[in-house]
Amino acid sequence: MFQIKSEILNLKSEEVINIFGFPITDAMSTTILTLMFVILLIILSSKLSIHKPSKLQLFFEEIIISLENFIVQLGGSKDKIQKILPISLSVIGFILISNLMLIIFPFFGAITLNDKPLFRSSTSDINMTLAIALSMVIFSQLYYVLNNGILHYLNKFIPILNIIKNFKQGLFTGLMSIIDVFLGILDFIGEIAKIASLSLRLLGNMFAGEILLRIFMGIFAIIVPVPIILLGGMSGLVQSIVFGSLVTSYLMSASSQKNN
């Protein structure tokens, strides 16, 4: 009773259409929809009035201010975090909309093409989460270089200058400083691990949530899945804030290393 046809979600996104040899997967179609929605929000926000704001506008402004204050608390002061605040808010906003896209437009999940679902949560696809995580980690490395210089960046992983300086102080001190090379290798592995950590954390939560929703939708099409949908929406909000917080901490670390 009140059942709908539901298939267990595959970890690999499925191709739904091919345009001039370029495959479009179900996750990519949702990403395109997300980008269109974001562009629409930007256009609408540009038409908002600062003199006579509506209640809806004040509501969203309050949310943005709350997120801004939360990020400022991570950085310690607004002046210190001012440069990376737009990046952090953009990451949180984009991931949040991506997580909630099929909740904002729930009937899109029922649209099929060639007997395949046309849309699935883009953040339940490893390619999406990996791309976001990789871009943010690379950006944090470039941000480190801009703030500290390329030599300081390379010296963080291969501390040749420190080793030479310590050898000048004595043979034993120089030999002990070689340990810093192994620590630098561990730091390099740690930077790569950030990519896996960011992408898999977001993927795991959103993928599990979508599987759970599809199972309940396959059993009961109405009423019962509502709490699961709300729980998925809350999880999407939390995951976007967690992702943005981690990106903020990486950028803050990159901007303050020179002073350490």
Total domains in the chain come to 1
DSSP letter assigned to residue 7? -
Q: Is the residue at 82 inside a domain?
A: yes
pTM score, two decimals?
0.79
Structure tokens at 61: 């402004």
Q: Is the residue at 3 inside a domain?
A: no
Q: Is the residue at 197 inside a domain?
A: yes
The dihedrals phi and psi of 24, each to the nearest 5 degrees, come to: -110, 115
Q: Is the residue at 123 inside a domain?
A: yes
Q: Is the residue at 5 inside a domain?
A: no
Contact 24, 18 (CB under 8 A): yes
Tell me how far apart the alpha carbons of residues 176 and 127 are, in angstroms, rounded to a whole number: 43
Q: Is the residue at 167 inside a domain?
A: yes
Question: Which domain does 214 fall in, by range?
Answer: 15-259
Q: Is the residue at 127 inside a domain?
A: yes
Instruction: Going residue by residue through the chain, which has 260 residues, state the pLDDT in tens, using 9 for 90 and above.
Output: 344 444 555 666 777 788 887 888 888 888 888 888 888 888 887 777 777 777 777 777 788 788 888 887 776 667 777 788 888 888 988 898 888 887 777 677 667 777 777 788 888 888 889 999 999 999 999 998 888 888 888 888 877 777 777 766 766 666 666 777 777 788 888 888 999 888 888 888 887 777 776 676 666 655 556 676 777 778 888 888 889 888 888 888 887 655 44
Pairing mode of beta strands 22-25, 112-113: unpaired
